[in-house]
Structure 1
Amino acid sequence: MVRELVSRGHHVRAVNRSGRAPALPGVEVHRGDITTAEGARAACAGAEVVYHCAAPAYDRWVQEFPPMTDAVRQGAAASGAKLVFADNLYMYGPVDGPMTEALPHAARNPNGRVRAAMAEALLDAHRSGELRVALGRASDYYGPGGVNTVVGTMVFAAALAGKPVRWVGSLDQPHTLSFLPDIARGLVTLGCDARADGHAWHLPAAPAVTGREFLDLVIAELGQPGTTSALGRPMQRLIGLFNPTVRALGQTWYQRDRPFVSDTSKFIATFGPFTATPHATAVAATLDWYRARPTS
């Protein structure tokens, strides 16, 4: 997000707990805690648009995500800023076809209900006139910087280390995957266009691929033989006994045993053509980032 905004000539305040940010011109670094209303107000002070891309640990969403998002909403409202929320597709629950923004929020699992509740609260705040809000929804993501994702360490880091490359779920079901720079481009579009206000939007992504097709792209880009496999439901349950993040993935296994495809036609029809990065190009860029990433 920082790089995309800077590339468009915006002055950016990068907010995080560490106070570190990319060494780019036009970036103001703010070390802060947006889990409190006071911290969020300080972080958002003077902003015209606030991009809420923060999240607690995956297995702590139910306890920590709603108060964090409520604090950010208060901070953005206090500054008179528009709020753009980096959302996902959990609120819909199991579906029988491509997902559109018109689907009901039918999720019954805890993380899905939390996502639905936050989205509805933010849109209610927009309708009440408290502040302007736009929601940008993406699927499972990958790309430079993308480590807290099922398409991260188990795929790219493992491939570079010569380890088996694992796909979570069925290898043969189509799945929309979002490239992080494309997500950033989509969110900035929502932040800069008043037509986005008061709505949820599925952010453009390259066409859905199966897990097998995606892993084949990774192996092909490496240019050397590799082993690919699926992490199925029994193994997920077993690993989940010791790993709370993997355990939480069981809530949304329906995303992994059938097609999980996002329809982004509403975004394109409203804001115009958007050339999503082809998966082959995005995979190469992601591998390059992992190669350059310091190891510890």
Structure 2
Amino acid sequence: MSTVALFGAAGVIGQSIASALSSKGRPYRVVGRTETSLRKAFGADPLAEIVTWNPDSPASVLAAAKGIETLIYMVGVNYWQFELHPELMRKTIDGAVAAGVKNIILIGTVYPYGMTEANPVREDHPREPHTFKGRMRKAQEDLLMQAHRDGRVNATVLRLPDFYGPGVEASLLHRAAQAAVNGGTADMVGPIDRPHEFVFVPDVGPVVARLVDTPAAFGKIWNLAGAGVTTQRELVSEMERQTGKKLKLRVAGKMTLRLIGLFNPFMREMVEMNYLMTDPLIMDDSALQQLIGPIRKTSYVEGIRQTIVAASNTRALAVAA
């Protein structure tokens, strides 16, 4: 019987966590809005229990969480609908508590920190978000951690930086990887020469799987840092080195994002978060490593190699089709 449920499982982080649980022979439940996407991602794994839900329906939340001990929350919303994050979190907490869930792990983001006072950023850095998205993510965290303080559930948050990896279309590096394989011009969000960090998606799952079995993790918030400080430019250069091709880049700064945003709601919403490109936020995860031990982090060289291989395989399949 599944005792761990991945809510919002169909995304790349959910698939990474599922892979880590499956490698341990541990049954798990995947919960999402669409059965088709869940079956596409997890249908081949006999350890996966597939459940659909409607996060706006209390009865549906309760049913999806029934019999579960630990709920891992990754529920996404459209980038222009971040006001939904706190409300969906509230409904999920209420349903999970009613269902008898003991633990909730929220996969979070750096947005609640706001502008950094100094780098690297530890978990005790002030949370003073100056953006709407940051405030909504902070409210989401606050609801969960208040439920912990009230004794309703054991709760923790794992904050991630930007991520990349095979098949990760939401990555800042995705268009560059496509261009490295397919040719053409890579659209990127700049500036691309400022310090930045990325976490390789397949590295996330094993960390979360360890948190599930670490009682001391609950009641606190943790950072998971990337594989070191780099820049988007350096990673593009690595793609060029590995493929032997010079990439053509088209870099959009804040002003360009505003112009594109007149016609594209996603790009419009990226404007307020552009500070993360201009004012680096680099995380310190030494506390997490003290909690669960050394964390395997794939080097950028190897991560780029695997990302390019995946993009090449996707292209080959498309050509064959």
CA distance in 2: counterparts of 1:15 and 1:218, whole angstroms = 35
CA RMSD of superposed structures (Å): 1.8
Q: Which runs of 4+ in 1 moved over 6 A?
A: none
Shift, 1:229, TM fit: 4.4
CA distance in 1: counterparts of 2:229 and 2:240, whole angstroms = 18
CA distance in 1: counterparts of 2:102 and 2:166, whole angstroms = 28
Q: Output the TM-score relative to the length of structure 2.
A: 0.86
Query: Compared with structure 1, are the counterparts of its residues 209 and 68 closer, same or farther at alpha carbon in structure 2 (3 Å cutoff)?
Result: same
Shift, 1:32, TM fit: 2.1
CA distance in 2: counterparts of 1:236 and 1:42, whole angstroms = 42
CA distance in 2: counterparts of 1:277 and 1:242, whole angstroms = 37
1:151-181 alpha-carbon deviations (Å, 9 max, x no partner): 33x2323332212223312122111111111
Match of 2:279 in 1: 258
Matches within 5 A, 1:78-117: 78-95=99-116, 96-117=118-139
Q: Does 1:197 align with 2:223?
A: no
- Matched residue type, 1:167: M
CA distance in 2: counterparts of 1:6 and 1:99, whole angstroms = 32
- Specify which of 230, 235, 244 is matched with residue 214 of structure 1: 235
Match of 1:133 in 2: 155
Q: Does 1:12 align with 2:34?
A: no
Q: Check whether the contact 2:119–2:283 (CA below 8 A) recurs between aligned residues.
A: no
CA distance in 2: counterparts of 1:167 and 1:15, whole angstroms = 32
Query: Compared with structure 1, are the counterparts of its residues 9 and 248 closer, same or farther at alpha carbon in structure 2 (3 Å cutoff)?
Result: same
1:78-99 alpha-carbon deviations (Å, 9 max, x no partner): 2323111110000111114222
Q: Check whether the contact 1:208–1:261 (CA below 8 A) recurs between aligned residues.
A: yes
CA distance in 1: counterparts of 2:68 and 2:198, whole angstroms = 31
Q: Check whether the contact 1:167–1:230 (CA below 8 A) recurs between aligned residues.
A: yes
SS of match in other structure, 1:104: coil
Q: Check whether the contact 1:136–1:190 (CA below 8 A) recurs between aligned residues.
A: no
SS of match in other structure, 1:111: helix
Provide structure 1 residue ranges, at least 5 long, that are not aligned to the other structure.
none
Match of 2:12 in 1: none
CA distance in 2: counterparts of 1:254 and 1:114, whole angstroms = 17
Query: Compared with structure 1, are the counterparts of its residues 68 and 157 closer, same or farther at alpha carbon in structure 2 (3 Å cutoff)?
Result: farther
- Matched residue type, 2:26: H
Q: Check whether the contact 2:191–2:278 (CA below 8 A) recurs between aligned residues.
A: yes
Matches within 5 A, 1:230-245: 230-245=251-266
Q: Check whether the contact 1:168–1:232 (CA below 8 A) recurs between aligned residues.
A: yes
Query: Compared with structure 1, are the counterparts of its residues 166 and 219 closer, same or farther at alpha carbon in structure 2 (3 Å cutoff)?
Result: farther
- Matched residue type, 2:216: R
Match of 1:123 in 2: 145
CA distance in 1: counterparts of 2:292 and 2:307, whole angstroms = 27
Q: Output the TM-score relative to the length of structure 1.
A: 0.93
Identical aligned residues as a percent: 27
- Specify which of 82, 89, 95 is matched with residue 61 of structure 1: 82
Q: Check whether the contact 1:206–1:277 (CA below 8 A) recurs between aligned residues.
A: yes
1:107-142 alpha-carbon deviations (Å, 9 max, x no partner): 121100001111111111011110011101001111
**What number of residue pairs does the alignment pair up?**
294
